[in-house]
Every structure is written in structure tokens, then in C-alpha cells.
Amino acid sequence: MIEQTQVLDMLVQACPTFAAARDEHVAEYGNDVLYVAAGEFAHHLLILQLDGATSCFAEVGATIERMHTEGTHEVKELATIGVLEGIQNVWGHSSADPGLFLEYLGPESRSWWQGLNNFWSGKAPIVRSGA
């Protein structure tokens, strides 16, 4: 099982350019406050998207999928409410379409992405996996 303490290293492994931001986060917060780190990661991905530097996105998508399928309950929740929702919100409040990231997600992550959309559109009372 993937534990919370492994998540930041996994994100850096998938997206090495996030290493400096991860190091700053760890210096300030330790290996805690992972939802803040997930928001920072979403911002980092946005910058990469705007720069056309998306070569790591397939690996990032695979890592998010692993978090959903191999993670503890807390890691699965972080993958959805932290990382995916972070991408949707950060990108959605910029000039980037968050839907552009959808192509990099595996089936479980896509299902949770849709679950977030259903919740925020009022189609579901809670965030749950499902199309």
C-alpha cells in the first residue's frame, strides 16, 4: 500500500521539475500538510502546461492512478480531493482548460474526476467515483 509519507517523493519521481517546490514545502511544513503540497503541485503542472512542457504528464497521470488503486484510504482521498480537485480548481481559474489533463488519467482517476464534476455541478451530494 502506498502511504502518505511516500506521496511527495512519488510526485517528484513522476515530475522531476517539482523537486525544488517539494523541498521548499518539506522545509516549511515537513512531510505533512499534503493538501497544501497538492495545491502547489497543481500550480506547477499549470506552469508546465502553459509552457508546453507536458512531457511528464503521462507519468504524473500514472502516479495519480497508482495513488487511487494502491494507496491507503488517506492517499486515495488525497489523490482526488488534493491532486485532481487542485488541478480542476487551479487550472479552471487560469487560462488553461482543466479538461486537457483528463487524457493523462487512468480509468480509476477518470472516474474520480467525473465524481468531482458531479459533486460541484450539484448532480451528487458527495464526491464519489462514477461517471
- Full pLDDT tens readout for the chain, 131 residues: 999 999 999 999 999 999 999 999 999 998 889 999 999 999 999 999 999 999 999 999 999 999 999 999 999 999 999 999 999 999 999 989 999 999 999 999 999 999 999 998 888 888 888 75
Domain count, the chain: 1
The answer to whether 2 touches 13, Cβ cutoff 8 Å, is no
Closest alpha carbon to 79 in 31, 120, 41: 41
For residue 46, being part of any structural domain is answered with yes
pLDDT of residue 48: 98
For residue 115, being part of any structural domain is answered with no
The answer to whether 17 touches 25, Cβ cutoff 8 Å, is no
Q: Which domain holds residue 74?
A: 4-106
pLDDT of residue 131: 55
pLDDT of residue 52: 96
For residue 102, being part of any structural domain is answered with yes
CA distances in angstroms from 50 to 1, 10, 45, 53, 85, listed in the order given: 34, 23, 9, 8, 19
**Dihedral over Cα of 64, 86, 116, 77: its sign:** positive
pLDDT of residue 108: 97
